[in-house]
Amino acid sequence: MNKDQDNIYAIYAIYGVAGIQLAASVIAGLIFGNYLDKQLHIHPILTIIGLVLGFVGGFYNLFKIIN
């Protein structure tokens, strides 16, 4: 492999990790919000809040990684 190919693979790896972190943040917020809703019997309020917080946190991490 030459240096250019290594560089391309490194870039793919960074963007792959960013995508996985975005998805993981959203899923974690959804699961945590759903769990709290079931415990407090106020479904779907905290699920929606957890989902929104997951998106916000995920996009924050995405922009941090890309920049």
**What pLDDT score was predicted for residue 5?**
80
Tell me the residue type at 49: I
Q: Please state the pTM of the whole predicted model.
A: 0.85
**What pLDDT score was predicted for residue 56?**
98
pLDDT tens readout for residues 6-56: 789 999 999 999 999 999 999 999 999 999 999 999 989 999 999 999 999
Answer positive or negative: Cα dihedral of 22, 25, 28, 31: negative
Domain spans of the chain, in order of start: 20-66
Altogether, the residues listed in the chain come to a count of: 67
Q: How many CB atoms lie within 10 A of CB 29?
A: 23
Say which residues have a Cβ less than 8 Å from residue 10's Cβ, sequence separation at least 6: none
* Residue 67's pLDDT band (cuts 50, 70, 90): confident
**What pLDDT score was predicted for residue 1?**
65
